[in-house]
Amino acid sequence: MTEPEGLIAELWYETAPDLTDPMLLEGLRAVSPGTEVQDGSLVVPYDGGELAPRPAGDAGEPAPRRPLVSLVLPGSSLDEPGKSLPDTSQTWDWPGAEEALAPARASVLVVEMYGDAYTARDRAAALVGVVRALAVATRPVALSWPTSQRVSDPGEPAADGLGGLLNVRLFSVSDDEDELVMDTRGLAPFGLPDLQVHFRDLEPGRLGALLYATAGYLLEEGDVLGEGHTISGIESDDRWTCHHEDSLIGPSRRVVDIDPGDPYAAGKRAR
């Protein structure tokens, strides 16, 4: 089983915003009235939300859960060792991402706290709501979503409410330029396996849309793609088989490998 991890977003600026600005605080309190300033950071609780199923404690009672919180704090300086601008090589829906990031010199982090107690949709709504409010108030040049390896345009919020928390990546993995791997990033933080297809001669745009839609379905329904289950492929009569495997592309993780069948499947497969 994939273990959940904390969600994170990073807003990038030419000049760092003032997190104590009363107008910023007002904007965040429109999202969450309980927002507070603490030691130069902002604590934004999520109002509402549905608790995920939880095990009983030692006495047979449900284990206590902390409220879901987004912590807003200054990012580390680009001058610090190991700090760099986000990689845009797997951002496919914003051609201007690298150019927009070029003048950025400062960032603000939005970090999820205690998210494992909540459903995937509530976790996404909490983080994305804070990012949107910050973007409106502070005008960043770009938004980075490290858990999905995606950079998004602050002026074009995602219609599905997920911000940039999900991404579809594309790689060439052999000397054969027609042999490709497409996978998702962003499901693992929710405790869900990412998706992967090792293929040839399929139209990447259509395949990417299918993987993104399937990832969104898993966020709603959970880890429902068992070994040997099938999903609809690109064409209406396609049935593609799912297997649980180790990822072909890093980071190392368990994924649902989707077999598109002959003549589109690439690599060695045990069928």
> 13-26: per-residue pLDDT in tens?
999 999 999 999 99
Place of tokens 């003549």: 263
In this structure, the dihedral spanned by the alpha carbons of residues 45, 50, 55 and 60, taken in order and rounded to 10 degrees, is 90
Looking at per-residue confidence, does 268 or 238 come out higher?
238
Residue 8 backbone dihedrals phi, psi, to 5 degrees: -150, 145
Confidence category of residue 1, pLDDT binned at 50, 70, 90? low
**Average pLDDT for residues 46-65, to the nearest whole number?**
63
Confidence category of residue 236, pLDDT binned at 50, 70, 90? confident
Return the DSSP state at 194.
Answer: E
Instruction: Return the half-sphere exposure (C-beta side, CA atoms, 13 A cut-off) of residue 163.
Output: 33
For residue 178, pLDDT beyond 80: yes
| Residue 56: predicted pLDDT | 53
Domains of the chain are 8-152 (3.30.310), 167-259 (no CATH)
Q: From 254, 251, 189, 256, select the one nearest 224 (Cα to Cα).
A: 256
| Residue 260: predicted pLDDT | 97
Are 190 and 223 within 8 A, CB to CB?
no
For residue 52, pLDDT beyond 70: no
